[in-house]
Amino acid sequence: MRTDRRRAARFTRVAALLSVAIGFPVIALLPSASAELSGRSTVPASAAKSAEEFGIGRLYAWGDNAGGQLGLGDKTDRSSATQVGTFSDWQRVAVGPGHSCAARLDSLWCSGMNNFGQLGLGDNTQRLTMTRVGASTTWAAIAVGENHTCATRASGTLYCWGRNQLGQLGLGDTVNRNTPVQVGTASDWVALSAGFDYTCGIRGDRTLWCWGRNTNYQLGLGDNVNRNVPTRVGTADWADIAASFTHTCGTRMDQTLWCWGENTYGQLGQGDNVDRTDPVQVGTGIAWASAATGRLHTCATRLNGTLWCWGRNASGQLGLGDATDRNSPLQVGTATYWATVSAGRAHTCGVRVGNIVCAGAPTQTGSSAWATRPPATHPPSFPA
C-alpha cells in the first residue's frame, strides 16, 4: 500500500512504476514513453519535493474488481489488462483491498469502496469509475490503506482521509473524514506508506514518523499502544519506508535494511519467528535499495540489482520455486537487473527491463493490478 516505492539500483534502465497492495490488489504503472531510472535517488521517487520524474502513461487494470477498484465502470473481474479511461498522463498509483487512487499530471483520482469516505469525495458513496478528488493540482505521493488514504502535495504538506477508528489519519482523534484533511503543519513530507490501519512517513530531515494501529508493534515504538498523531520512530536517518499488515520495513540513508512488528512467518528476516517492538537490522550487509512488504512476507532489491525475499511462502509468493517459508533473506534467481519490486497478500511482482513478472497466487480472490501495458505471464517462480 505504499506509494511509488520506485527505488532503482545503480544502473540505468527502462522500468515500470510498480506498487502492490498488502491486502489483495496490485497496481503498476509503466511509462508510455522511454522514461529511464538513472541511479538510486537519495530522495524517494514519491517525494513531494525534488522528486525524480519517471514518465507518464496510460492506465490498465486487471484482476479482482468486487469493489469497483479497477475504475472500469463496473464490478466485473478482468482476466486480462483493460485500459482505464482514455487519459495518457497518469504518473502515480496506489491501491488498497477495496479502493484505488492514481495521480495525473494535474489531479488526483480514486475509485472503489467508500464506506468510510476513503475516496475523499465528501460522501460515502461507492464509485465504479475514477473520480477526481477536490480541485488541487499539486498532488505528489499517494498511500492507500485498507480503508484510508493519505497523500502529499508539492508543498510537502500531508493530507489524510477515510477510516480513523485507530488514529491512522494522524489527526489527534478517531473521527472518520470523507475529504482530505491536513495532518499537522509540517511541510517537508517526502515519502509515505500506508498499512492496513496505520501510516508511516518520512520528513525532509530523514526522520521517520508512524501512527495508527500498533497491536503488533508495527509502529516500531517499543510498545503496542496505538497512536493518533505522527510519532517519531527512533533517531536514525531513513531513506524509504514500507508499511504492511502487521510489520514494517525500511531502508536507512546508510543503505542498511531494518524491519519490525509481527514475525510469525519470519517476515522480519531475523532467522527466527520472534516479534520485534523496535526496528532491527536485517543481516549485517548494506547496499539495500528498497523493500516491499506483503501481508506476511517481505522482498527487497539491492544496489547490484539482485532480488531477495523471505517470510510466508504458502502460495510461492517468494518466487523461489517452492512453498517453503523462509525466515532469512534468500536471493531469488541469479538476475541482477531488478528495477523495483512490490509485495501483495500472497503474491509478488517485480520489474525487469520494463517487463512485469509476478509469482505467487495470481488467481486468488481479490487480486488485481494496474499497468500501462499488458503484464507478463505469471510463472510459479521468478525466472533467473
Q: Where are the domains of the chain?
A: 12-371
Instruction: Return d(Cα 244, Cα 329) in angstroms, integer.
Output: 18
- The dihedrals phi and psi of 73, each to the nearest 5 degrees, come to 90, 5
Return the pLDDT at 369: 47
Please state the length of the chain: 384
Return the pLDDT at 62: 74
CATH of domain 12-371: 2.130.10.30
Instruction: Check if the beta carbon of residue 75 is closer than 8 Å to that of residue 54.
Output: no
> How would you class 244 by CB atoms within 10 Å of its CB: exposed for 0-12, middle for 13-18, buried for 19 or more?
buried
- Grid cell, residue 353, equals 527491463
Distance, CA of 253 to chain centre: 19
Q: Which regions of the chain are under pLDDT 70?
A: 1-56, 354, 362-384
pTM of the full structure: 0.85
Residue 191's beta-bridge partner residues?
A: 202
Integer CA distances (angstroms), 219 to 21, 198, 214, 256, 312, in order: 18, 8, 6, 19, 21
Helix (H) or strand (E) holding 79: strand 78-83
Return the pLDDT at 362: 55
